[in-house]
Amino acid sequence: MIELYNTLSRKKEEFVPMEEGKVRMYVCGPTVYNLIHIGNARPMIVFDTVRRYFEYKGYDVNFVSNFTDVDDKIIKKAIEEGVSADEISKRYIAECKKDMEGMNIKPATKNPLATEEICGMVDMIQTLIDKGYAYEKNGTVYYRTRKFEDYGKLSHKNLDDLRSGERALLVTGEDEKEDPLDFVLWKPKKEGEPFWESPWSEGRPGWHIECSEMSKKYLGEQIDIHAGGEDLVFPHHENEIAQSEAANGKEFAKYWMHNAFLNIDNKKMSKSLGNFRTVREISEQYDLQVLRFFMLSAHYRSPLNFSADLMEASKNGLERIVNAAENLKFRMKNAKEEAFTEAEQEAYAKTEEFVGKFEAAMDDDFNTADAVAAVFDLVKYINTNTSEESSAEYLKKLLERLTKLCDVLGLIVDKEEEMLAEDIEKMIEERQAARKAKDFAKADAIRDELLAKGIILEDTREGVKWKKA
């Protein structure tokens, strides 16, 4: 039984899916105007791990995570560079996907782009107007916050308190609003901004409506889990609930999951403090597997402090696990005996204890810190209960067990062996011979095979050069 902490109820609840054996999960993705930072990386890694554990338990997970590809920050960056907003968003989506691959984030079932779903957003806004939850003023459409009786149920905020204390909510065009707490669903274009047609004005949607529509389109009107960083609880997720439940007339998401903030050397990450770190910068110092390991070393609801010391500790911790896997592979190659002995069968049976510890930790609100501790216990057991005399089957079974648990955490311990330089050169010679014989299909096939193994070929005047991707 999986229990998870639901921000909505503020307690742990047993996970019961709406449809048996299936999980519908939506995670708010980044706004793509720059390289992603390590604050963005935490929800990506956390909720990828949640998804992996559901799959490990046999669930079919429909995992949707969007890219916000139209936004003030994207437009600002486009103006600064003198290019289109579309060019900026496409560039940084590609860069984001590179970083996600480095962190071993599984591709989502669907990565919708806000700009491709505008028609659906216009329809949802019209529904809200028709139902009396929204109104138009001079081309801007606002949501009537007070009309939605349950407003504040996720963030546990009171509307009157918000009115007196939340000055940050006040936006331009204040005098147009019926109530200062009303928020924007559609806004007219400004000079030089990208825009779309709508019944109210040429313009673009507000941020909140984007996720309401994309979630509905790809997961349905009701979903199991909606997740993101704790900074999204209010106003973004609160507003999503108000929009979706008013438009669809039913509960939007059953469970709400939020990860805590990431600090840098015990300070909040910000550009003004000069402690803003991108995932790309980290990748120049460490394998991104180390970053992933670091992120999983604390419970997702606990604040996490990033520092050089903790990254070094994570690097050492990950190496312990990878080395255990490498030792098993080495011994397998040199094993004298094939089959399990009786004593080995007993020894292997004892590893069930570590699997049990691992699953108990993950069942308890995805406690990856304790799950990692169970993996370390398994590693220690492997190191003390194998030798040169161990059979190949016993070693193989242990490796499979270790790999399976690490895979849930997205940690790669059984890496494919790198190609030797002489093997690469040999394949290049074969390709050159194929080209000479005008067998271009074979030449292309060899190039593709090398590319799949992370080797890039470059045809130059001096001959063929190669490098690792």
Q: Name which of 98-107, 172-181, 443-452 the model is least confident about.
A: 172-181
Distances (CA, A) of 340 to 47, 309, 337, 388, 391: 38, 42, 8, 14, 6
For the residues 363-367, what does the mean pLDDT come to?
98
For residue range 221-233, list pLDDT tens digits in order.
Answer: 999 999 999 999 9
For residue range 21-46, list pLDDT tens digits in order.
Answer: 999 999 999 999 999 999 999 999 99
Q: Are 59 and 21 in contact (CB under 8 A)?
A: yes
Asked if the structure places residue 266 within a domain, the reply is no
Tokens of 219: 């997961």
Asked if the structure places residue 328 within a domain, the reply is yes
Query: How does the average pLDDT of the chain come out, rounded?
Result: 92
Q: Please indicate, yes or no, whether residues 382 and 441 belong to a single structural domain of this protein.
A: no
Show the domain range for 352.
Answer: 308-408
| CATH number of domain containing 253 | 3.40.50.620
What pLDDT does 167 receive? 43
Q: Using the predicted structure, report yes or no on whether residue 386 has a pLDDT greater than 70.
A: yes
Q: Please indicate, yes or no, whether residues 14 and 154 belong to a single structural domain of this protein.
A: yes
Asked if the structure places residue 413 within a domain, the reply is no
Asked if the structure places residue 294 within a domain, the reply is no
User: DSSP 3-state assignment of 25?
Assistant: strand
What pLDDT does 375 receive? 98
What pLDDT does 175 receive? 65
Q: Please indicate, yes or no, whether residues 202 and 315 belong to a single structural domain of this protein.
A: no
What pLDDT does 419 receive? 59
Q: Please indicate, yes or no, whether residues 138 and 98 belong to a single structural domain of this protein.
A: yes
* Sequence-separated (6 or more) residues with CB below 8 Å from residue 4: 12, 13, 15, 225, 255, 257, 365, 366
What pLDDT does 164 receive? 55
Share of the chain above pLDDT 70, in %: 96
| Of 252, 255, 357, the residue nearest 5 (C-alpha) | 255
If one counts the domains in the chain, the total is 3
For residue range 241-271, list pLDDT tens digits in order.
Answer: 999 999 999 999 999 999 999 998 888 877 6
Q: Please indicate, yes or no, whether residues 57 and 200 belong to a single structural domain of this protein.
A: yes
Q: Please indicate, yes or no, whether residues 437 and 376 belong to a single structural domain of this protein.
A: no
Give the angle 92-97-101 at the CA atoms, nearest 5°.
150
Question: Cβ of 260: how many Cβ atoms within 10 Å?
Answer: 17
What pLDDT does 171 receive? 46
Q: Please indicate, yes or no, whether residues 66 and 213 belong to a single structural domain of this protein.
A: yes
Question: Cβ of 12: how many Cβ atoms within 10 Å?
Answer: 12
Beta bridge partners of 142: 135, 184
For residue range 437-456, list pLDDT tens digits in order.
Answer: 988 888 888 888 888 777 88
Asked if the structure places residue 395 within a domain, the reply is yes
Q: Please indicate, yes or no, whether residues 9 and 30 belong to a single structural domain of this protein.
A: yes
Q: For residues 325 and 383, give the distance between their C-alpha atoms in angstroms, rounded to a whole number.
A: 10
User: DSSP 3-state assignment of 31?
Assistant: strand
What pLDDT does 418 receive? 58
* pLDDT confidence bin for 276, thresholds 50/70/90: confident
Give the angle 331-335-340 at the CA atoms, nearest 5°.
105
* pLDDT confidence bin for 365, thresholds 50/70/90: very high
Q: Are 369 and 296 in contact (CB under 8 A)?
A: yes
Q: For residues 4 and 69, give the distance between their C-alpha atoms in angstroms, rounded to a whole number.
A: 31
Instruction: Calculate the CA dihedral of residues 49, 52, 54, 60 and round it to 10 degrees.
Output: 140
Tokens of 100: 């996600």
Tokens of 261: 């903030």
Asked if the structure places residue 107 within a domain, the reply is yes
Residue that has been written with the tokens 């200062």 in this structure: 180
What pLDDT does 469 receive? 61
What pLDDT does 267 receive? 82
For residue range 135-174, list pLDDT tens digits in order.
Answer: 999 999 999 999 999 999 999 998 887 765 444 444 445 5
Taking the CA atoms of 50, 52, 54 and 59 in sequence, report the sign of the dihedral they define: positive
Q: Please indicate, yes or no, whether residues 207 and 349 belong to a single structural domain of this protein.
A: no
Asked if the structure places residue 295 within a domain, the reply is no
Q: Are 266 and 243 in contact (CB under 8 A)?
A: no
| Residue that finishes a domain, picked among 220, 243, 259 | 259
Question: Cβ of 134: how many Cβ atoms within 10 Å?
Answer: 25
Q: Please indicate, yes or no, whether residues 392 and 317 belong to a single structural domain of this protein.
A: yes
Q: Please indicate, yes or no, whether residues 254 and 330 belong to a single structural domain of this protein.
A: no
DSSP string, 149-200: TTTTTTTT--HHHHHHH-GGG--TTGGGSSSTT-EEEEEE--TT---B--SS
